[in-house]
A = this chain, B = another copy of it.
Amino acid sequence: MAVSTVIFALRAEDGSAPSLWTPFVRRTREPHLDQWALPGGWLPDAEPLEAAAARTLAETTGLRPSYLEQLYTFGDVDRSPTGRVVSVVYWALVRSDEVAGAAVGNNVEWFPADHLPDLAFDHNAIVDYALRRLRTKVEYADIAHTLLGETFTLAQLRSVHEAVRGHPLDPANFRRSITASAEIVETGERLAGTPHRPPKLYRYRDFTRAAGAPAETPTPTEKTRTLS
């Protein structure tokens, strides 16, 4: 048994629009030596699933998201060439400043989530599945909140919608749909550090999520919800 983690973060390359990126770790042993793979590792007998996912993620990528959500358990009998491995896969969204703050090893590299290299095992299928889940999430409030924080400009919010949906949105239409919805309100403040006409900051009117609670599905017990 193994655990793996899919991480999504927003990243803008060379002044282009932000898109979703995800980190992989170069394998240092067979099978799939030198190929990129999801951060993860074997499940020790005495370690809770989520704790093992968090530990292996931190050890390889330096990332320490405030919580991990269980995504799916992958157990096809032929997914590893060296015998049956069942992998419990977790996922999390992280903000860019969490990425920047993480000490990163030599063997880690980030790739655009929709232009992946040829990954080890069935990890391409796993990331594709995570992307589909993210794109069919009903609540963008959770996604935006996690990627942007409490307040954001309309341009930042649009960049999240664009990155998740994978295509650009018309700025004027987006602004109209947001200001027409009662969900998102002005905070009365403006973005700091922008000298000329700083853009307004907005927030979700009723954003409530229990601290540490997964965005989509409550985990079954307190125990599995707390990272040790």
Q: Does A205 contact B (CB under 8 A)?
A: no
A169 to chain B, nearest CB (A): 23
User: Are the C-beta atoms of A76 and B125 separated by less than 8 Å?
Assistant: no
Q: Does A157 contact B (CB under 8 A)?
A: no
Q: Which of B46, B76, B86, B125 contacts A77 (CB 8 A)?
A: B46
Q: Does A88 contact B (CB under 8 A)?
A: yes
* Chain A interface, DSSP helix/strand/loop, else mixed: loop
User: Are the C-beta atoms of B126 and A220 separated by less than 8 Å?
Assistant: yes
A133 surroundings in chain B (CB, below 8 A): 217
Q: Does A209 contact B (CB under 8 A)?
A: no
A/B interface sample: 17 pairs, CB < 8 A: A43-B75, A45-B77, A46-B84, A49-B73, A49-B86, A70-B73, A72-B217, A72-B219, A72-B220, A75-B88, A76-B221, A76-B223, A76-B224, A125-B221, A129-B218, A133-B217, A138-B138
List 5 A-B pairs, minimum CB-CB distance, nearest first: A129-B220, A49-B75, A73-B73, A73-B88, A45-B84
